[in-house]
Amino acid sequence: MTSDGLHCPESWETRDLQSVLHGFTHLGTLQQSGPVVMSRGEGVYVEDSHGKRYLEGNSGLWNMVVGFDHPELVGAACEQYQKLPAYHAFFGRISEPAVALSEKLLEIAPVPMDKVFFTNSGSEANDTVVKMLWMINHGLGKPHRRKILSRKNAYHGVTGITASMTGKDYINAFGLPLDGFLFADCPHYWRYANEGESELEFSVRYARNLEAQIEAEGPDTIAGFFAEPVMGAGGVIPPSEGYFEAIQPVLKKYDIPLIADEVICGFGRTGRVWGCQTYNIVPDILVASKCITAGYFPMGAIMVSQSIAEKLNEAAEQYEEFPHGYTTAGHPVGCSIALKAIDIILNKGVFDNIIAVSPYFQERLASFLSHPHIGEARGIGLMGALELVVDKGCKTPFPPEQPVAEQIANVALENGLICRPIGQAIVVAPPFIITRCQIDELFDKLQITIDKVIGS
């Protein structure tokens, strides 16, 4: 933003500072530097209120995957607004687009699924899954089976329940996690492997650790295990080789449902339609959001297996209903947009583009390993992260008083690139429509930025 904008009482920046409370933002710094207020978007670019253009290297928040001006998505919204602008999914009533979207999701699911439940976000979806699991176990006469297993460094949402499953230190600000929320190991091989340990050996060790944790807690007290195929907000951490193959038999052994949080990975981000397909995951429940509408409408969706659906129906009999839902979930406009977004991604060249450009994206990402302060370049498909270190040999991170990732993200803005700092890593996850030339633009700008902040 410009200094003129920050000091002009009529500017968008000043109006923002006077009226808006920003999430996941350093509020003190915001008061000094001001916000960036966006005005319009085109393709992979956004433009602020002063006309400055940025390559959106994080697809907004992972979700604006077909660009910021797709006419078919705008058209789908307008058409549905004229036909039935709003409705709910309570009391056995629902809109036609919600039924059609349920059918489509079951059709393209990575494993056979039986029913779909809609929410307004990924956070609401994961929160809902926990309530489903608790209700099922209560109906089975196992009310003590309530503990939820997640993983350190995981991110599953911001509600009281889903923040309790988020393995980040900042949840302590809210007095979380709630009782009964547990964290297994984070499968980050580069950071946590023992000296000389192969990835497969690392995965086997983590599976043993998981089994020991389950046995220590009591298998009959654990309601479910939540896992992202790739830890997105944890810093784009792909699982170690063989990780899911190693832990799934453990979960099966103790009859613990596996919930795949596909909020970030779903619909193509990893180079397959689902992250479950990339990592051979067979979930009992799958959660989707973000890309389901390509970011054009807030939506989340839960797909449950036949076994889970049957148990939920049985548990609901006691109350003559499933006593849960959201006013705007299954919104007909959102469902119409989602149907069109899925069609655009899968059938109109977008997924083909992911397959075509992902290898080059990963090649450019990996080239940063030659930098003395890049300890790891990790990623898959169209998502990646650069881990910043003081010392590559010891994998020593920069100290907290030297927030280089934040500095890089800020200087990148000056250079017309939006990237995201997560801990000591810089994360990029561009829209699925990005071209090879735009990938060069992204990484060239990132290279210039890194060299400016910490030298070449």
Tokens of 347: 């059938």
- Please state the pTM of the whole predicted model: 0.96
Q: Are 314 and 364 in contact (CB under 8 A)?
A: no
Domain layout of the chain by residue ranges: 36-69+351-454, 73-347
Q: What is the pLDDT along the chain (456 residues), one digit of tens a residue?
A: 455 566 688 899 999 999 999 999 988 889 988 999 999 999 999 999 999 999 999 999 999 999 999 999 999 999 999 999 999 999 999 999 999 999 999 999 999 999 999 999 999 999 999 999 999 999 999 999 999 999 999 999 999 999 999 999 999 999 999 999 999 999 999 999 999 999 999 999 999 999 999 999 999 999 999 999 999 999 999 999 999 999 999 999 999 999 999 999 999 999 999 999 999 999 999 999 999 999 999 999 999 999 999 999 999 999 999 999 999 999 999 999 999 999 999 999 999 999 999 999 999 999 999 999 999 999 999 999 999 999 998 999 999 888 999 999 999 999 999 999 999 999 999 999 999 999 999 999 999 999 999 986
Query: What is the token pair recorded at 356?
Result: 């075509």
Continuous segment of H or E residues that includes residue 421: strand 420-422
Q: Kindly list the distances between the CA atom of residue 132 and the CA atoms of 104, 106, 129, 224, in Å, as whole numbers in the listed order.
A: 23, 19, 5, 10
Q: How many Å is the maximal CA-CA distance in the chain?
A: 66
> How far apart are the C-alpha atoms of 409 and 375, rounded to whole Å?
18
Question: CA 2: distance to chain centroid?
Answer: 32
Look up the CATH architecture of domain 36-69+351-454.
Answer: Alpha-Beta Complex (3.90)
Tell me the three state secondary structure of residue 398: coil
Round to whole Å and give the CA distance between 2 and 447.
24
Torsion sign across C-alpha atoms 305, 311, 315, 321? positive
> What is the DSSP-derived secondary structure letter of residue 291?
G
Task: Record the tokens describing residue 284, joined without a space.
Answer: 């009992």
Distance CA 69, CA 41 (A): 6
Of 433, 421, 428, the C-alpha closest to 444 is 428
Kindly tell me the burial class for residue 32, based on how many C-beta atoms sit within 10 Å of its own C-beta (0-12, 13-18, 19 or more): exposed
Q: What long-range pairs does 70-78 form, CB within 8 A, spacing at least 24?
A: 70/294, 70/296, 70/344, 72/340, 72/344, 73/293, 73/294, 73/296, 73/337, 73/340, 73/341, 73/344, 74/296, 75/340, 76/336, 76/337, 76/339, 76/340, 77/296, 77/297, 77/333, 77/336, 77/337
Opening angle at CA 419, ends 416 and 423, nearest 5: 145
CA distance 210 to 107: 33
- Considering the four listed CATH numbers 3.40.640.10, 3.40.50.150, 3.20.20.210, 3.40.50.300, the one that applies to the domain covering 73-347 is 3.40.640.10
User: Between the CA of residue 321 and those of 139, 250, 325, what are the distances in Å?
Assistant: 13, 33, 11
